[in-house]
A and B are shown apart, each in its own frame.
Chain A
Amino acid sequence: MITAATIKIKDDEFVELKDIIYKNAAISFADSKKYLLENRLSKRLQELNFTSFKDYIYYLKYDAKKREEMEVLLNQVTINETYFLRERAQMDHMIKTTIPALITAGKRNIRIWSAACSSGEEPYSLAMLLNEAGLFAKAGIEILATDINTEVLDFAQKGLYRTISFRGVPPTIQDKYFRKDGFSFQLDSAIMSKVKFFQGNLFNPMLSAKVGRLDIIFCRNVLIYFDIPAKQKVIDLFHKSLNTPGALYLGHSETLNKISDSFKMENFGGGIIYRK
C-alpha cells in the first residue's frame, strides 16, 4: 500500500485475526507475516471507517453482513500472483509423459484439476499446451479449476490479462492465443471454453463430491500457506479424488516429506511428480 496509510495491527489483534482466517481457510500466518495483513487490509479498514484491527474483528464477528465480509477478507488474503506457463517443466511432463501414458493405457476421458487456480493462468496454460500438442483431439480432456477467492475467479472467467501475466511466455504463444485490448490482452474464446471454473475451499468436505474423480491434479505454491495438519488434510483429499494411476504436481518448493507417504515420488529431471 503506497498511497493509503497502513494501520498497524497489535499482537492480540493479529493472533485473533489469524485464528479467524485459519478457521475459515486453513491458511497459517507466521508472526513474520504480520505486515502482510496490515498491507492487504488497511485500505478495507479505511473504507469501513475503522481505525484499528480490533474494530474490524468486531465487524467480522457482529455485523449482520459478516458472511459477506468474510468473503472480502479471504479474497484479500488469498491473492497469489501467478503467470502463464509458470514452472513449465511440470506442464510439459504432463503433456509428453503423463497424458500419453494414460491414453496408451486405454483412457479416453481424462480429467485434470487445477486446485488453486488463482486468476486462471495455470489452467489456461494447460489448455494452450494441450491444444499445441493436439491432445484435445486424442482424448476427451476436461480441465476443472477452483479457488477459494471469488474475485480472482471472476477475473479468470473474463480471460483478460495484463502484461504482468506473460512473464517468460514465448511471443509465438502470446500472439497466437491473445488479442491486445488497450492495456490488456484477451484470451482466445476456444481456449477459455476448455476450462470450467468454480469456487472451492480445499477444506470444504463437499469439494470432493463437486470435483469428482480425477486423473491429474495441479496444486502448486499453495501448500506453503498451510500448517502441517491442514497440508495432510488437503493431500488426503487429493489422494481420495485421484484415480489409479493418477498424478499430482506440487510447487517446486513444496514436498510431501513427513506430510504423507501415500504417493510415490518420482523425480523426472525438471521437477517432481507424485504418483498414485
Chain B
Amino acid sequence: MSVSFIRYGDVLKIMVDQDTPGKDLEEASRKLLDEKGVACVSLDLKNCYYIQSKALAALIAFKKNAAKIRAEFVVSNVCDNVYQVFEMANLTSYFTIREDFSSYPAEELMEKFFQADYADRVSDFIAEHYSDEYRQQLQGLMEMNEPELKYYAILTMGKAHDYASEDRIKQELDSDLPMVVKASVLVLGWFGDTSSKDKIYSILEGGLEELAEAAAASIALLSDDSDAQRLGKLLSDKSAVIRTAAVQALTLINDDNSFNLLKSALDSEQDENVKASLIRALSSFNRPGVSDILITGLDNSSIKVREASASGLAKIKAKDKLADILRRVTDNDAWVGYFAVKACGDICAASDAKKLMDSYDKVDENVKLAIVEALGKIPSDFSDFYMKILNDNNEDIRKEVLAALFNDNKDAARDAALTLFTDDSSWIVRYKALEIVSIIRPEGYKTLLQQRLTAEDNKYVKEKIQSILEEI
C-alpha cells in the first residue's frame, strides 16, 4: 500500500511512500472526505526523498479536502529535496510544514543526534515519550565511542528523569571527552546527586570554559549552606573563567551570603568582563542597595560595566532612582541612554513622560526608538506626540510609532496602519502595519488584503498576507 491512513484519536496520519503514483494520491485525497471526527490531518513525507511536481496537485487536494472536513492540515517530515520543490512551486507558506518525530523508529531517531539542527528537539521528544525501547537504545549509545551520541544520550536520560542510569552517568565525569563530561555534570545536578559535588567542583576549577559554566549551574542545584563560602573563595581565583563561573553559581544560589560575597568582589574585580557579569548578577538580587550599586556603575570607566548597570536598572525597575535614570537618557554612550529609557518605560508615570519627549530630539536613533517604545508602555495617551513623528525618515521609528499608537489609541492606530500598509516604502513598516490591521480587522480588510496580495512586492509581507487570508 503506497498511501496508508493511521488514526490516533482525532489525528489522522497519512503515510506516503516514495514513488506513489499520482492517481493513488488523488484517490487517497478523496478518501479523506469519508473520515469523521478528525481535528488534524498530518500528511507524512518521511519516506519521500523527492517528489514529482505533478504530485503537488494531489497534495493541494489533500489540503482542500481537509478543510472540507474542518480539519487542520499539516505536511510533516519534509526532506530538503522535497522542500526545494515546494519552494519552486511557492508552496512553502501555503502548507503548514512540521516535523513529527513519532513517525521514526527509535533507532532512526538516535541517528538524528548527529544532526545539530535536530539533536536538541529529538532529545526533548524522546524524553517526553520515554519508553523501554528508547531507554535501551540510549544505553546502547552510552557504550559507543561517539561523543555527540553519548552527550545526547546522557542529556536525554536526564530530561526523562531516568534515575536508574545515574551510576552509569556518574562514570562519565571521568571521560576525556569534554562534551560528555558537560552532559554528565548537568544531569547529575538535575538528579540532585550531592555525592558528585566535589568532583563537579574540581571540574569547575579546571577552568575549561564550556565545563565551568555547566559545573556552576549544577553546584547551585546541589548547594547547601556551605557552598556560598566555598564559591566565594573562587571569586579571587586568578582565572577569569573560574571567577565568572563562581559568579554564575552564586547568582543561582541567590541567598544573603552570596549577595554579600558578590558585592565585595565588585570592589576588587579588575577585569571589565567579570565586573560586568558581577553587575548583571547583583541586579538579579531583590535586595536593598542594589539600585545604589547600579547607579554607581553608571559612572564606571568601562562601557561594558556602564551598559550592564543601565540594563540592570531597567531589569529591577528602580523606581527610587527615577530622577538619576532620567538624567542618563541623554548619556554620551547611546546604549546607556537606551537602557535608561527602557527602565523608564517600566517605571515612569504619565507625569514623567514629558522629560522623555523633550529628550527625543537630542538623542541618537536607537535611543529615539527606545523612547517611542517606552512611551507606549506608560499608561497614558501620547498620540499627539506620535503623530508628529509618524513620518520620520527612519523606518524603525515609523514602525515603533505604529506599535506605540496601537497601545495608546486604537482608532488612530487603525487609520495610520491602513495608510502605512499600502503606502509606506519600507517593508518593515508595512509588515508591522499588517500585524495591526489583522488584529483590529477594520471593515473591508479582507478585500484590502486580497488587493495587497497582488500589489505587494516584498516576500515576507506577501507570505504574511497569505497566511492571514488562509486563516480567514
A residues in contact (CB < 8 Å) with B = 2-4, 11-12, 15-16, 19, 30-33, 35-36, 39, 48-51, 55, 58-59, 61-63, 79-81, 162-164, 167, 183, 224, 227-228, 253-255, 258
Asked if B428 is at the interface (CB within 8 A of a chain A CB), the reply is yes
Given contacts A15-B431, A228-B88, are A58 and B178 in contact (CB under 8 A)? Answer: no
Q: Is the CB of B177 within 8 A of A32?
A: no
What residue in chain A is nearest B210 (Cβ atoms)? A3
Q: Is the CB of A2 within 8 A of B366?
A: no
Residues of chain B in range 349-371 having any CB-CB distance to chain A below 8 Å: 364-366, 369
Task: Give 1 or 0 for each of B84-124: 1 = CB within 8 Å of chain A CB.
Answer: 11011000100001110000000000000010110011000
10 pairs of residues in contact across A and B, judged by CB atoms under 8 Å: A3-B186, A3-B217, A12-B435, A49-B280, A49-B307, A51-B311, A58-B338, A61-B396, A62-B369, A163-B145
Asked if B421 is at the interface (CB within 8 A of a chain A CB), the reply is no
Task: Give 1 or 0 for each of B250-276: 1 = CB within 8 Å of chain A CB.
Answer: 000000000000000000000000000
Given contacts A3-B214, A164-B147, A253-B80, are A58 and B177 in contact (CB under 8 A)? Answer: no
Residues of chain B in range 334-357 having any CB-CB distance to chain A below 8 Å: 334-335, 338-339
What residue in chain B is nearest A225 (Cβ atoms)? B80
User: A63 contacts which chain B residues (CB < 8 A)?
Assistant: 334-335, 366
What residue in chain B is nearest A28 (Cβ atoms)? B87
Asked if B416 is at the interface (CB within 8 A of a chain A CB), the reply is no
Known contacts A15-B431, A80-B116, A163-B176; can you find 8 more A-B pairs with CB under 8 A? Answer: A3-B213, A49-B310, A58-B338, A162-B147, A163-B177, A224-B80, A255-B81, A258-B88
Q: Is the CB of B432 within 8 A of A12?
A: yes
> B117 is contacted by which of A33, A48, A228 (Cβ under 8 Å)?
A33
- Give the bracket for the number of chain B residues in contact with chain A: 35 or more
> How many Å lie between the Cα of A164 and that of B146 in the bound state?
7
> How many Å lie between the Cα of A276 and that of B334 in the bound state?
54
Q: Is the CB of A30 within 8 A of B92?
A: yes
Q: Is the CB of B431 within 8 A of A58?
A: no
Asked if B28 is at the interface (CB within 8 A of a chain A CB), the reply is no
Asked if B125 is at the interface (CB within 8 A of a chain A CB), the reply is no
> How many Å lie between the Cα of A57 and that of B460 in the bound state?
17
Given contacts A49-B311, A228-B84, are A62 and B366 in contact (CB under 8 A)? Answer: yes
> How many Å lie between the Cα of A51 and that of B311 in the bound state?
9
Asked if B83 is at the interface (CB within 8 A of a chain A CB), the reply is yes
Q: Is the CB of A253 within 8 A of B217?
A: no
> A81 is contacted by which of B116, B216, B310, B432 (Cβ under 8 Å)?
B116
Q: Is the CB of B186 within 8 A of A2?
A: yes
User: B120 contacts which chain A residues (CB < 8 A)?
Assistant: 35, 39
Residues of chain B in range 190-245 having any CB-CB distance to chain A below 8 Å: 208, 213-214, 216-217
What residue in chain B is nearest A35 (Cβ atoms)? B121
Asked if B67 is at the interface (CB within 8 A of a chain A CB), the reply is no
Q: Is the CB of B460 within 8 A of A19?
A: yes
9 smallest A-B Cβ distances: which pairs? Answer: A49-B311, A62-B366, A3-B217, A164-B147, A15-B460, A224-B80, A81-B116, A58-B366, A3-B213
Asked if B69 is at the interface (CB within 8 A of a chain A CB), the reply is no
> A62 is contacted by which of B80, B178, B364 (Cβ under 8 Å)?
B364
User: B365 contacts which chain A residues (CB < 8 A)?
Assistant: 62
> How many Å lie between the Cα of A258 and that of B431 in the bound state?
31
B residues in contact (CB < 8 Å) with A = 79-81, 83-85, 87-88, 92, 97-99, 114, 116-117, 120-121, 145-148, 155, 176-179, 186, 208, 213-214, 216-217, 248, 280, 307-308, 310-311, 315, 334-335, 338-339, 364-366, 369, 396, 428, 431-432, 435, 460, 464
User: A255 contacts which chain B residues (CB < 8 A)?
Assistant: 81, 84
Q: Is the CB of B179 within 8 A of A164?
A: yes
Q: How far is the CB of B392 from chain A (nearest CB, A)?
A: 14
> How many Å lie between the Cα of A8 and that of B298 in the bound state?
28
Q: Is the CB of A253 within 8 A of B81?
A: yes
User: A167 contacts which chain B residues (CB < 8 A)?
Assistant: 114, 146, 148
Given contacts A30-B97, A35-B121, A163-B147, are A49 and B339 in contact (CB under 8 A)? Answer: yes
> How many Å lie between the Cα of A16 and that of B88 in the bound state?
22
> How many Å lie between the Cα of A227 and that of B93 in the bound state?
14
> A49 is contacted by which of B121, B213, B308 (Cβ under 8 Å)?
B308
> How many Å lie between the Cα of A249 and that of B145 in the bound state?
30
Q: How far is the CB of B302 from chain A (nearest CB, A)?
A: 13
Q: Is the CB of A58 within 8 A of B369?
A: yes
Given contacts A32-B97, A49-B339, A255-B81, are A162 and B213 in contact (CB under 8 A)? Answer: no
> How many Å lie between the Cα of A55 and that of B373 in the bound state?
11
> How many Å lie between the Cα of A131 and that of B252 in the bound state?
53
Q: Is the CB of A228 within 8 A of B87?
A: yes
> How many Å lie between the Cα of A164 and that of B183 in the bound state?
15
User: B280 contacts which chain A residues (CB < 8 A)?
Assistant: 49
User: B369 contacts which chain A residues (CB < 8 A)?
Assistant: 58, 62
What residue in chain A is nearest B216 (Cβ atoms)? A3
> How many Å lie between the Cα of A58 and that of B372 in the bound state?
14
User: B213 contacts which chain A residues (CB < 8 A)?
Assistant: 3-4
Given contacts A30-B83, A224-B80, A253-B79, are A183 and B178 in contact (CB under 8 A)? Answer: yes
User: B145 contacts which chain A residues (CB < 8 A)?
Assistant: 163
Given contacts A32-B97, A49-B311, A62-B364, are A2 and B214 in contact (CB under 8 A)? Answer: yes
User: B364 contacts which chain A residues (CB < 8 A)?
Assistant: 62
User: A81 contacts which chain B residues (CB < 8 A)?
Assistant: 116
Given contacts A2-B155, A164-B179, A228-B88, are A36 and B431 in contact (CB under 8 A)? Answer: no
What residue in chain B is nearest A227 (Cβ atoms)? B87
Given contacts A62-B365, A228-B87, A228-B88, are A32 and B214 in contact (CB under 8 A)? Answer: no
What residue in chain B is nearest A258 (Cβ atoms)? B88
> How many Å lie between the Cα of A211 and that of B438 in the bound state?
49
Q: Is the CB of A16 within 8 A of B214?
A: no
User: B85 contacts which chain A residues (CB < 8 A)?
Assistant: 258
What residue in chain B is nearest A168 (Cβ atoms)? B146
User: A35 contacts which chain B residues (CB < 8 A)?
Assistant: 120-121
User: B248 contacts which chain A residues (CB < 8 A)?
Assistant: 3
What residue in chain B is nearest A221 (Cβ atoms)? B80
Q: Is the CB of B431 within 8 A of A12?
A: yes
User: B83 contacts which chain A residues (CB < 8 A)?
Assistant: 30
What residue in chain A is nearest B158 (Cβ atoms)? A2
> How many Å lie between the Cα of A80 and that of B117 in the bound state?
10
> A164 is contacted by which of B88, B148, B216, B310 (Cβ under 8 Å)?
B148
What residue in chain A is nearest B182 (Cβ atoms)? A2
> How many Å lie between the Cα of A4 and that of B214 in the bound state?
9
What residue in chain B is nearest A57 (Cβ atoms)? B396
User: B310 contacts which chain A residues (CB < 8 A)?
Assistant: 49
